[in-house]
Structure formats: C-alpha cells, structure tokens
Structure 1
Amino acid sequence: MIAAYLLFFFAGIGAFNALALAIGLLLRRPNAPAQRWLALLILALSVRTGKSVLFYFYPELSKLVLQVGLTACLMIGPCLIALVRAWSDPAGQRTRHDARFVAALLVAAIVLGAAFPYSEYPQWWSGAPAWRVVMYGWLACVAAAAVLCRGAFRRAGDAAAADGIGRGQLAAIVAAVAGVWLAYFTAGYTSYIVGPLSFSLALYAGVAVWFAGRRPRAAAVTEPYRDRKIVDDEAQAELQALHRLMDSEALYTDAQLSLAKLARRLNMPPARLSQLLNDNHKTAFKPYLMQLRVDAAKRLLQAPGQVMMEQVAEASGFLSMSTFYSSFKKLEGTTPAAWRQARSAAAADS
C-alpha cells in the first residue's frame, strides 16, 4: 500500500508541478513567443501525464477525462515544432501563422471529440486508429523538431539564446519529449505509469539544468567583426527584424534592456548586433535605445488626459526622472513639460 502511494505521489507530482510551471511561464513578462510555446508544450504534457496517473489508479474514471488526455497528447508534437520555429525566428518573420495552425488543429480535435465522444465510441478512441494517429504523429513531430533544431543551430551564433532558451536547453527539451514518447510507446511492454514517471524525471532534470545554466559564467570572447562587413541584404533583413521586434513588443520599455539581452531575442551574437547598429544604422546601441524611449515619451505626452511626468518616464523605459529629462532635452532641445505645452498650444491654434 505504501509503495502504491509513493508511486502515485512521484508520478502525479510531476504533472502538477508542470501545470504550475506552464502557468508561470504564461504569466511571466516579457512573454516572448518561444516562452509561450514552451508553456503550452508543458501544459499539454502535464494534462497527458496527469490523465495517465488518474487512469492508472482509478480505471473507472470518466471517459471524458480520457478523451481530454488524448486530445492533449495530440497537441504535444505541434507545440514542440512551434517552439523550435519560434526559437529560430524570434522576430516572427516566418512564424506568424503558427498559432493559427495549432489553434485550428485543437478546434478540429475538439469538434471531432464532440461529434464522436469517447463514451459512445470507445472502440475508436481506445483502439488502434486513434492511438496510431496520436502516437505516430507525435513521433513525426519530434523528428521534424530535431531536423529544425539542426538547421537553426547551424544558422545561429554560438552564443545564441532566444527568449532565455539556449541551444543546449532547446536540444534537451526535444530529447525529453522524445523520451516521454518512448516511455508511452513501450508502455505495453512495461507499465502504463512509466510515461508519467519519465515525464517527472525529465521535468526535474530540465529544471536543474536550467538553474545550472543561470549561474554566472566568464565573459565570452567577443567575435571580431571589424574586418567583416555585413552583406547589405542580410543587414536590411536583420534591421527589419530588429524594428519589427521593437514595434511589436516595445522592448525599449524594459529599463534593464541591454545589448546582450536584445541580441538574444534576435538570435544573434551581441558583437554582430553592435556592428549592425553602428555600420548599417549609423548609431550605437545606447543612442538607438534613447531615441526609441524619447519617441515613446513624446507619444505619451501628446495623449489626452495629461499623463504625469513620472508615469511617462516609467512607461517609456527610463530608470529615473533625471535620465528622462536629460535624454529628452538632448534630443529635442527642450524639456518634456515645455515640449508638451508647445504642442498643446499649437493644437489649440489650429
């Protein structure tokens, strides 16, 4: 009896903690695309393994719970592929429609489940047809994700880490999902509870690796770009990705934004981003960031309702009022208050 309770605890705690982790990732700000897909992937895995734990210990469980578990299992592979694609394209140039595709797949699965519920068609859901579609579809997605990872790693720099997920961490995620698939696929030869247990092990191993990767490391050697001019076509594409990322997510509002952090979001080495700004945008990182923040402040200063200066500064990404005033006056030649007053007077005259 004690062994059964321990088995239930260790198998179920992984699913429960994964659910909490997924919710935390979804609520964490800034909420980047790869981070959202990782949260959805963990959520799908937690629902699938949670259902397995409940079914193992309570076989009389409602068929609706089993149907939800299989539906979640169907979403694991697509979420994994979307995660890898978002990691390799943080600016969203090629992945704009991924969310629509995955959402459409989920809606189709829900509609199919409503039309042919498990309770009325158990032979279809628990038999070979549905199981093969789900399991072999999952395997195909894992293989596709591995191929996508290889191509993304080849294009990315050695220090690439999009949305806080490094190359090694992404590879570990793909390997862990493959391991959970293998545990479920071989469950007929071992035990059905092996799937949830393997997921718990993969989850805690992944968390441990992630925390280990957060330890301070020695500064990496900056790749010299002095003698390597960026090709014009590449520079224009990368600048467009930079501007699109800044416009869509307003990263300049992050008071702690650094060159290294922005480079990680763009999936490029910091030295290349620095060269891109200096050589192709004719500005350094700090002046570029200052201009974006001052432009944001000007939009807020023109907004109706007379937003307080402290709120304008904070919402624009400035750490202090003194930095806000000095930056604004440097670029506009006047103080924020005088600039707003002049704009208001001009609008009243017109």
Structure 2
Amino acid sequence: MGLGQQILFFFSALGAFNGLIIGTYLLLFKKQKSVPAYFLGLLLLSISLKISKSLLYYFYPSLPGIYIQIGILGSSLAGPSLFYFIRSALAQSTKITALQKANYLFWISAIIIASLIAPYSKLPDIWENYIGRIISIQFTIYILYATWLLKDVFIKLFTKGETASTSELLLVSVLIGNIIVPTVFKLPVFSFFNGSCISGALFFSLVLYFNTFLFITKRKTGDLLSTGQQAIRYANKKISLEQAMALTEKLEKLILEEELYKDPDLKLNDLSKKINISGHQLSQLLNDNLGKSFAAYINGFRINEACKLIINDKSIKLEAIGYEVGFNSKSTFYTAFKKHKQTTPTLYKEQLSVATL
C-alpha cells in the first residue's frame, strides 16, 4: 500500500474507528444512561461495522468472508437503531420494550443462521444479490418511518414563523446523515473518491464529526441524551388527577388574565416558571393529563380569541386577527385555525355571516 493509499485509508477509517469508540462509550461507560443514548450507541456501532466492512473489502479483498458477514450484520441493525433512537428521543422513553429487543434478536439470529448455512466465502452471490437487497429494503423502510416521525419538525423548518428546537434539529441532522451515507455508497457519481466504498467511508467521517460537533456545542443537547434520570424521576412521580386539575386551572387563569398567548415568542419554560413548576412537569401535565403539546395548548387560546374577534368585529381583517392573538405569520394562523376548527378562518367568517341573515 503506497503513501497515497495509506492516507486515504487513514481518513476513511477515522470515522469508523471513532464511531466504534463513541458507540461503545454510550452503551457501556456513559454515567447517565438513557434510552436515546443507548439506541444512538447501537446506531454508531452498526454503521461503523458496515463502514469497516467496506474499507476492508476495498483495501484487503482477500480477507475471509466472515468480515463481510459482520459488516452486513451491522447494516441489518442500522435501520432499527435509527428509528428507535428518533422515536425514543421524541417520546423521552424511559425503557426498552420487549418488541424492540425481539426485533434486534430476529435480525442478529437471521444473519448468524445465514452465515452458518451459506457462508459468504462459498456463496457470495446469495449475500450480495439477496441478503444485501433485503437489508437495503429494510433500511429504506426504517428511513421512511423515521422521516414520518419527524414530519412535524420538517413542517416547522419550512414554515415561516415556526422554530424547531435544538434537539429536533439534531435529530434531523442524524436522519439526513443516515440518508447521505448509503446514497454515496450506491451512486456512481461519487466514484471520483476512488470508488463507492471509499466515498461512503469518507462521507461517514464527515457526517460523524459534523454531528459530534453539534452534540458538543449545543447547550440543550444534554436534554436529548441525558434525559434518563430526569425522565425516570418524573415518570415515577406521576401528577395526580387532583394536582393536575389544580395546575390546569391555575395555568388557564394565568394565561387568560395576563393574555400570555398573545406573545408569539412564548416558550414552555417561560410559562412553567410563572406557575412555579419545572419545564418537565409542565410538559408532563400537557401531554399526559391534557393530551396536548405545548404548541397545541397555546394555539387553542389563540384560536378561541380569534373566533371572538371574528364574531365581534366583522370589519377587522383576518390576517390582522392572526397577529393580534399571537401568531407571527398568516400561514401559521390559518394552519392552526383549520386544525382546531376543521375549517379556515375565511369559511368560518362566511358561515357566521350566513347564520345571521
């Protein structure tokens, strides 16, 4: 291997090596373990095994087929790990379910059995043409599932006036990275990197370091990967029905009296401080006891106020009403109104006009 090849191998292997180190740390050595951190660790280990397989296959094609089989095992676990990581991070899961464990067991068992029945060294065509394709389809399905989970975040990103949280942006970044790397492996346009195996490994290094930089530099990232102890604490301390009713009454009174919903920049933590509870407790109250997200809860007050304005002042423009009640754009006002009233502000106003005739 010449100097150029050695340099190429070094930078290509750097991401895979660090992925193994970070993944192992998240699984075994992280002090405050959480479910999202566990699945992220599995995701990094899975992809690192896949990348390592590709590198070895490119630089040392004569190595035993077991290395290929281990890499394909990693590929089979990447999709579920990505999906479970995003879902657990969004839901702040506090435990791994039996179904999730069974899913991992199925794929691990399937690859091991295939390795025993049809080893790669004897039947490479089966692995490349059948098993590889099955795993590619599986990964694509999980990518679609993960994208669907983040649909609300993507709507925020492309809706004027909406802002995604730091944790949501990190989840999107991880998802996009897991779309880019397999794409680079497949598309011949990246052959200028001395082949798809090398280009995939290089892009994985770039994606890994970019996301690692985001995780380290973003102050709120701790909420994403270190929620284990906090989530368990609040999960074990459920808000009683009596306490929830008292807090809800206090919350509604505060919002209405001070017209807090008219503030377009109102945040969950700002509201929680006003009623002397933590952001986690307020989120738990809204989600578990009221079945609403913070945005949906506040928008409910805004839409109710908008309806009053439409009824009492028929000369006021609908767009002005949206800004008056706390929305920072016409599009978000119309979207929220239709979601809460199953009709648009325009049709709602027209129906009122017809009713008064």
Report the TM-score range of the alignment, normalised by the length of the smaller protein.
Answer: 0.5 to 0.7
Aligned match for 2:52, one of 47, 50, 53 = 50
Match of 1:85 in 2: 87
Q: Does 1:194 align with 2:194?
A: no
Per-residue deviation at 1:167?
A: 0.7
Deviations along 1:189-247, whole A, 9 cap, x unmatched? 6212111111011111111222221389xxxxxxxxxxxxxxxxxxxxxxxx8767338
Could you state the TM-score of these two structures normalised by the residue count of structure 2? 0.57
Q: Please, which runs of 5 or more residues in structure 1 have no aligned partner?
A: 217-240, 248-267, 282-350
Query: Quick one: which amino acid aligns to residue 204 of structure 1?
Result: Y
Match of 1:245 in 2: 235
1:158–1:269 Cα contact (<8 Å) kept: no
Query: For 2:165 and 2:190, how far apart are their aligned partners in 1?
Result: 40
Per-residue deviation at 1:275?
A: 4.4
Per-residue deviation at 1:154?
A: 7.8
Aligned match for 1:210, one of 204, 215, 226 = 215
Match of 2:147 in 1: 146
Aligned match for 1:68, one of 70, 90, 102 = 70
Per-residue deviation at 1:187?
A: 4.9
Per-residue deviation at 1:149?
A: 1.7
Match of 2:242 in 1: none
Aligned match for 1:124, one of 102, 126, 137 = 126
Per-residue deviation at 1:48?
A: 0.6
* CA distance 1:169–1:68, shift in 2 (3 Å): same
1:91–1:245 Cα contact (<8 Å) kept: no
Per-residue deviation at 1:45?
A: 0.5
* CA distance 1:187–1:31, shift in 2 (3 Å): farther
* CA distance 1:99–1:151, shift in 2 (3 Å): farther
Query: For 2:220 and 2:146, how far apart are their aligned partners in 1?
Result: 28
1:22–1:39 Cα contact (<8 Å) kept: yes
Could you state the TM-score of these two structures normalised by the residue count of structure 1? 0.58
Match of 2:178 in 1: 177
**Pairs within 5 Å for 1:231-270:** 245-246=235-236, 269-270=268-269
Q: Please, which runs of 5 or more residues in structure 2 have no aligned partner?
A: 157-161, 222-230, 238-266, 273-278, 290-357
Per-residue deviation at 1:22?
A: 0.5
2:36–2:93 Cα contact (<8 Å) kept: no
Query: For 1:210 and 1:5, how far apart are their aligned partners in 2?
Result: 30
Match of 1:111 in 2: 113
Match of 1:307 in 2: none
Query: For 1:78 and 1:194, how far apart are their aligned partners in 2?
Result: 24
Query: For 2:281 and 2:78, how far apart are their aligned partners in 1?
Result: 37
Does the residue aligned with 1:193 lie in a helix, a strand or coil? Answer: helix
Query: For 1:125 and 1:98, how far apart are their aligned partners in 2?
Result: 25
Query: For 2:103 and 2:122, how far apart are their aligned partners in 1?
Result: 29
* CA distance 1:160–1:133, shift in 2 (3 Å): same
Query: For 2:64 and 2:113, how far apart are their aligned partners in 1?
Result: 19
Query: For 2:44 and 2:34, how far apart are their aligned partners in 1?
Result: 16
Query: For 1:175 and 1:119, how far apart are their aligned partners in 2?
Result: 34
Query: For 1:129 and 1:188, how far apart are their aligned partners in 2?
Result: 24
Query: Quick one: which amino acid aligns to residue 9 of structure 2?
Result: F
Match of 2:293 in 1: none
